[in-house]
Amino acid sequence: MNATTRFCARIVGTGMYVPEKVLTNADLEKRIDTSDEWIRTRTGISERRIASKEESSSVLGLHAARAALKDAGLEASEVDMIIVCTSTPDVLFPATACFVQRELRASRAAAYDVSAVCSGFVYGLSIAEQYLKSGRYRHILVIGAEVNSRIVDWDDRSTCILFGDGAGAVVLRREEVAEPVGVLSTHIYSDGSLSELIHVPGGIGLNGFSGGAIDPKQYCIHMMGNQTFKVAVKRMSEVCREALAFNGMEVDAVSLVVPHQANQRIIDAVTEKLAIPAGKVYVNIHKYGNTSAASIPIALCEAREAGRIGEGDLVLLSVVGAGLTWGAALLRW
């Protein structure tokens, strides 16, 4: 590296995978007291994908990772680190990332999971950014993979309509350039005092498995939808403004916003607050619902494939998730 160049962390490959099985709003109408009209107008969701019995987060993540590696033209043996962002890991341990590493035969990669729920991908991206910009590693695979259908309470109409399964992945490469490209900055936050807004109360560390019968509902998503909605809009717009200001950029410079796909009305409220026209926002929530940590990398992959992201474009990612966690990333493609 000479005096005029610096290390950048650039996305050079994207990939995604969603299970074949589609669960439509009409299907849900048969199981719970809801309607297609309510779900579409309150959330923007028409259908979501549901993993088969054999499809765990590592299986979905593996498909997405292979697609991202192919897109990047990279061999798995060249990957230095695999980060799987998930809140539905295959097992308590080892990390889901280790199963992906095994299947890819990524022989020299470190592998671990990041648990930041829906914010996971932006958290993972932030970690990769640091390793690449410091010069420590050259190639990092960041995967968001979820089987939310396994932790959804199918009797709870306020949550089961929202979530879906899927995986998205990106390959990041360290490059030496004069002008900053790739991940310009990431901004991640948390507020644990809001942990009960969205949570899965069951687990192992707090209660163990020795205290008698297990209540399956404790292993499902509990959510205070309304309160979450309000905090989501506030935090996502705040952190988007921060990302732009940090890089000395105005909203007008943004080519495409790729927001976390939790609720169409949240996306609309955030982009309205930021005065970003709807045409500059990538939305696929109607097809997949909220796929948690997989939501942004799936959307990124689709946006690229649809020609919505080109070289030199300024792309803004933003997210909020359980924890509470939130974050944003600004990318120069």
Three-state DSSP state, 283: coil
DSSP states of 118-180: GGHHHHHHHHHHHHHHTTS-SEEEEEEEEEGGGS--TT-TTTTTTB-EEEEEEEEEEEEESS-
Which member of 187, 284, 290, 301 is catalytic? Answer: 290
Q: Which amino acid is at 63?
A: H
Sign of the CA dihedral running 235, 238, 239, 240 = positive
If one asks whether residue 324 binds ligand UT7 (CB under 6 A), the answer comes out as no
- Under the criterion CB under 6 A, does residue 46 sit at the interface with ligand UT7? no
- Going residue by residue from 266 to 285, which x/- string records binding to ligand UT7, judged by CB under 6 A? x-------------------
CA of residue 188 relative to chain centroid, distance: 13
Least CB distance to ligand UT7 at residue 120 (A):
11
Max CA pair span of the chain: 65
Residue window 23-42: x/- pattern of binding to ligand UT7, with contact defined by CB under 6 A? -----------x---xx--x
Min separation Cβ 223 and ligand UT7, Å? 6
Q: 277 Cβ partners below 8 Å, 6+ apart?
A: 271
246-280 b/e (C-beta count within 10 Å ≥ 16 → b)? eeebeeeebbbbbbbbbbbebbbbbbeebebeeee
Size of the site for ligand UT7 (CB under 6 A): 21
With CB under 6 A as the contact rule, the residue among 208, 226, 275, 277 that binds ligand UT7 is 226
- Tell me how far, at minimum, the Cβ of 226 lies from ligand UT7, in Å: 4
85, 98, 118, 240: which is the annotated catalytic residue? 118
The position carrying tokens 């590296």 is 1
Does the annotation count 118 as an active-site position?
yes
What is the DSSP secondary structure assignment for residue 48, as one 8-state letter? E
The least distance separating ligand UT7 from the CB of residue 316, rounded to whole angstroms, comes to 18
Report the residue number, 81 or 262, with the smaller CB distance to ligand UT7.
262
Residues 104-143: x/- map of binding to ligand UT7 (CB under 6 A)?
Answer: --------------x-------------------------
Q: Minimum distance from CB of 219 to ligand UT7 (Å)? A: 18
In the shown chain, the binding pattern of residues 139 to 178 toward ligand UT7, with x for contact by CB under 6 A and - for none, equals ------------------xx--x-----------------
Peptide bond into 94 cis (omega under 30): yes
Least separation in angstroms between residue 320's CB and ligand UT7 is: 6
Cα–Cα distance for residue pair 183/221, rounded to 1 Å: 32
Is residue 310 packed enough to be buried (19+ CB in 10 Å), middle (13-18) or exposed (0-12)? Answer: exposed
8 classed as catalytic: no
How many residues can be counted in the chain? 333
Catalytic residue among 260, 263, 284, 301: 260
The pair phi, psi for residue 285, each rounded to 5°, is: -60, -30
Q: Is 58 in the site for ligand UT7 (CB under 6 A)?
A: no
Give catalytic status of residue 260 as yes or no. yes
> Least distance to ligand UT7 from the beta carbon of 234, Å?
12
Helical axes 295-305 vs 57-72, angle rounded to 10°: 30
Q: Judged by CB under 6 A, which of 228, 237, 271, 291 binds ligand UT7? A: 228
Catalytically active residues are 118, 260, 290
Residues binding ligand UT7 (CB under 6 A): 34, 38-39, 42-43, 118, 157-158, 161, 198, 225-226, 228-229, 232, 262-263, 266, 290, 320-321
